[in-house]
Structure 1
């Protein structure tokens, strides 16, 4: 199944158990806090880990994701009641409705073609209030992280809340033209195996800056890691903060 961690009810809790709060969440939470009581869009919110934290910090938050099972898990989180959860994509966003938009956990890489990415940026530019901010992360292709996505280096154990342990590993199935396809394997106790496949696009810093500029954004800064490191000196990330046109 493609994107099984968000679409397969059996894998959604595995994703939550494996992807816990981290320095990326700290970064985005602190960034949003620079605009007190902001109207925040979390595009590609998944199971809502950061979304509910943003709401708990006093912001008015909308979480948007196309994956119904992931949103169902998000709605069950403590503190989820005050959040507007929307099953959909950027195409349905209202105009001028948000002060800040975030795309976390490398959601930006899911848009595999330039057309999809440009359309998403145009939607976000329309949805942000004049001068609103957009922040997102994308893995730096110069770090070549997919070379470590193999059954040996990626092998791991994921412990679920009910005490069961899931064995997991990843294998790359194709890598060319900065587009990487891979499959996650999940082996449950008793021998049941589930697969989740995906394809990600790796864009360079120059490509990201160019696409943002074309969509009407001004790039404020690009970090190479979650502590503000320079590109190439951090965590193998491109952490981008941009601002929409003051004229809307």
Structure 2
């Protein structure tokens, strides 16, 4: 199954158990908290871990995700009524409705096709108010993280809330031009094995910067780790913060603008 962790109810439970609140959530929450009581979009919100944390901190939050089973799990969480949940993609976003937009858990890498990535950034620029901020994480291809995704190094045990233990491991199925395909294996205590496959795009820092400029964003900073380390000296990440400055080809008054630098 493609993206089984988000679409198969049994794997959604595994995903939640394997991915509790962590330092990446702290980083995104701290960034949102830089301005009190803002309107926040969580695109690719999944089962709502970060969206609910941001709402609990006093912000107005909208969580958007195309996976119905993930959103069902989000809506069942305590405090879910504080968040507006939308099943859909960035195309469903209302215009000029958010002060901050976030994409967490490497959601940006699921947009493999450049045209799809460009459309998503354009939708985010449209959804943000002028000056609104976009933050997301993407793995640095120079770190070659996929080389650790093999049945030996990736083998792990995941304990579910009911005490059952799931055995899991990952194997890479294809690597070509910054695009990596992989399959997660999940073996349940009752003997059922479920597979979840996906493909990620590892864009370079320059590719990310160019795509953001083309969509009307100005990059404020790119760091390499959750502690603010420089690129190449942190956690093998690109942690990107950008600001919505204009619609491509125009300024915010609708007048033709000069070429972006």
TM-score (norm 1): 0.99
Q: How far is the alpha carbon of 1:190 from its aligned partner?
A: 2.2
Matched, 1:2 2:5: no
- Superposition pairs of residues 21-36 of structure 1, within 5 angstroms: 21-36=21-36
Match of 1:136 in 2: 136
Q: Which residue of structure 1 lines up, in the alignment, with residue 150 of structure 2?
A: 150
SS where residue 10 of structure 1 aligns? Answer: helix
Partner of 1:183: 183
Shift of 1:98: 0.1
For structure 1, the 5+ residue unaligned runs are none
The residue correspondences of 1:56-205 to structure 2 (distance < 5 A) are 56-205=56-205
How far apart, in 2, do the equivalents of 1:199 and 1:159 lie?
A: 26
SS of match in other structure, 1:166: strand
CA distance, structure 2, for counterparts of residue 140 and residue 78 of structure 1: 35
Count of paired positions: 248
Q: Which protein, 1 or 2, shows the higher relative CO under an 8 Å CA cutoff with sep ≥ 6?
A: 1
3-state DSSP of counterpart to 2:239: strand
Residue equivalent to 1:237: 237
1:82 is displaced (CA, Å) by 1.6
* Larger radius of gyration between Structure 1 and Structure 2: 2
1:207 paired to 2:202: no
* Cα shift readout 1:74-110 (whole Å, capped 9, x = no counterpart): 0111111121000000001110000000000000000
Listed one character per residue, the Cα deviations across residues 14-72 of structure 1 (whole Å, up to 9, x for unaligned) are 00000111110000000000111000000000000000000000000000000000000
Runs of 4+, deviation exceeding 6 Å: none
- The two structures have a TM-score, normalised by structure 2, of 0.94
CA distance in 1, matches of 2:229, 2:209: 18
In 2, distance between residues paired with 1:130 and 1:243?
8
What CA distance in whole angstroms lies between the structure 1 residues aligned with 2:210 and 2:57?
33
